[in-house]
Amino acid sequence: MAQASTMDVTFPGDTEILVTRTVNAPPQLVYRAWTTPELVRRWWPGRRGEMTVADMDFRVGGAWRYAMTAHGGFEVAFHGIYREIVPNERIVHTEVMELPGTAPDSAEGAVLTTVTFEPADDGGATVVRIRTDAGSREVRDMIAQSGMEGGVREQFEIIEDLAASLA
């Protein structure tokens, strides 16, 4: 039975942000929405703009890059490298926000993000956890204060509808 989903953002350590959200769709569908470029294009920008790039070499050691044109006309882009992939369960990757002057393959300022997909108690939903190790308290706080929480909340709302539509 579907239930209202809430999202929790916590700070389990001085350098970490943990986002937890139950999505009312099974893990394999949530994972598919998370790992298929044409589906990522639909949820990654939330409701804040239009996705312009969803490049994914989805394998350990492969690179990814997402970019969007946000409302207001400015570009926001991130890139990284996949470090670990366990299908339907776990993805570990680096993530670099591309600031002006950042090369698209730069590792400078990378944070480490681990996304897990676990069946919820009822079996029909998925508990998604996004743990970001920012490397320092200053970077963690900068990310937390960036508006990230609102954007991730929007992303999860779209992912839930998208994953449910894949059933």
Mean pLDDT in the chain?
Answer: 91
Q: What percent of the chain has pLDDT over 90?
A: 78
Question: Any idea which residue has 């350098």 for tokens?
Answer: 15
Question: Any idea which residue has 């029909």 for tokens?
Answer: 124
Predicted confidence (pLDDT) per residue in 43-73, tens digit: 999 999 999 999 999 999 999 999 999 888 8
Residue 73 has a pLDDT of 87
Q: How many residues does the chain have?
A: 167
On the CB side of 7, CA atoms within 13 Å amount to 19
Number of domains in the chain: 1
User: Residue 137 domain-assigned?
Assistant: yes
Residue 108 has a pLDDT of 76
Within 10 angstroms of residue 107's Cβ, the number of other Cβ atoms is 11
User: Residue 1 domain-assigned?
Assistant: no
CA distances from 45 to 4, 59, 89 (A): 22, 23, 23
User: Residue 48 domain-assigned?
Assistant: yes
User: Residue 96 domain-assigned?
Assistant: yes
Residue 4 has a pLDDT of 54
Whether the model pTM is above 0.85: yes
The 3-state DSSP class for residue 78 equals strand
Residue 1 has a pLDDT of 40
User: Residue 147 domain-assigned?
Assistant: yes
Residue 120 has a pLDDT of 92
CATH of the domain at 103: 3.30.530.20
The answer on pLDDT for 99 being more than 90 is: no
Q: Identify the domain containing residue 14 by its residue range.
A: 7-165
Residue 6 has a pLDDT of 84
Residue 43 has a pLDDT of 96
Which tokens go with 144? 């937390």
The answer on pLDDT for 2 being more than 70 is: no
CA distances from 115 to 87, 128, 159 (A): 11, 7, 14
User: Residue 2 domain-assigned?
Assistant: no
Which tokens go with 6? 């809430």
Mean local confidence (pLDDT), 155-159 = 96
Long-range contact pairs involving 109-114 (C-beta distance under 8 Å, separation at least 24): 109/139, 110/80, 111/135, 111/139, 111/143, 112/83, 113/80, 114/90
Which tokens go with 1? 């039975």
User: Residue 111 domain-assigned?
Assistant: yes
